[in-house]
């Protein structure tokens, strides 16, 4: 028997899953996750999108080619534009990570080890402007996926694991990286 809280959290996780895609290297050198930032605009890690092109795969298996519009290996960020028809993907809602407090519940969504749309949850340990640090479980394939708060608002892009903790690039840094491509971060 599930509680109302379980059902509410599962609904939030499902919303975030709907805005998470799999990003495949166009040359077959690996894959990771991506976030539907805007309708045909995908944010991921630079170490996931290494070349000029990538393949974006939705949860239902639809695949589209994508062009890497901007890439910054020093910040480990890349933004892709999906080619062709609109896939009808739901963009995420963004929250400024600067508003996070230690102890807040967060969830990570991604495609680790071939598990499409896997969800893990944990608590924010700290947010220092460079990283959102949380005790969520990440594995290869989670890179580039969303770290979201308990309301489903994306606060960061999962990037790496250090000493057993997940490190995500804060949403404000992503908005700065996107620059003229669009900034729509909401305050909590």
What are the extents of the domains in the chain? 4-82, 97-178
Say what the pLDDT of residue 184 is: 42
Nearest to 25 by CA among 85, 84, 94, 71: 71
Rounded average pLDDT per 10-residue block, the chain, 188 residues: 82 96 89 93 96 93 94 96 85 96 97 92 94 96 97 98 96 91 42
Catalytic residue among 19, 31, 143, 171: 143
Catalytic residue among 47, 98, 99, 135: 47
Tell me the Cα Rg of the chain: 15
Cα–Cα distance measured from residue 38 to residue 69, given in angstroms and rounded to the nearest whole number? 14
Cα–Cα distance measured from residue 115 to residue 137, given in angstroms and rounded to the nearest whole number? 14
Number of Cβ within 10 Å of residue 6's Cβ equals 10
We find that the CATH architecture of domain 4-82 is Beta Barrel (2.40)
Nearest to 35 by CA among 143, 151, 162: 143
Q: What is the pTM of this model?
A: 0.91
Is 143 a known active-site residue? yes
CATH number for the segment(s) 97-178: 2.40.10.10
Catalytic residue among 24, 33, 76, 159: 76
Asked whether the domain spanning 97-178 has the same topology as the one spanning 4-82, the reply is: yes
């Amino acid at each position: 028997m599930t509680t109302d809280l379980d059902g509410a959290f599962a609904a939030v996780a499902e919303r975030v899953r709907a805005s998470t895609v799999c990003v495949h290297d166009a040359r077959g050198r690996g894959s990771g996750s991506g976030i539907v930032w805007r309708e045909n605009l995908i944010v991921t890690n630079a170490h996931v999108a290494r070349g000029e092109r990538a393949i974006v795969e939705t949860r239902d298996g639809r695949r589209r080619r994508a062009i890497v519009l901007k890439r910054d290996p020093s910040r480990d960020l890349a933004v892709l534009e999906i080619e062709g028809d609109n896939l009808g993907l739901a963009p995420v809602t963004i929250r400024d990570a600067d508003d996070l407090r230690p102890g807040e519940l967060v969830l990570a969504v991604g495609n680790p080890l071939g598990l499409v749309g896997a969800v893990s949850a944990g608590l924010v340990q700290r947010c220092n402007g460079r990283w959102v640090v949380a005790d969520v479980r990440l594995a290869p394939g989670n890179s580039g996926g969303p770290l979201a708060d308990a309301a489903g608002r994306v606060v960061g892009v999962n990037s790496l694991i250090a000493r057993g903790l997940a490190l995500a690039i804060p949403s404000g840094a992503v908005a700065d990286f996107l620059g003229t491509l669009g900034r729509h971060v909401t305050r909590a």
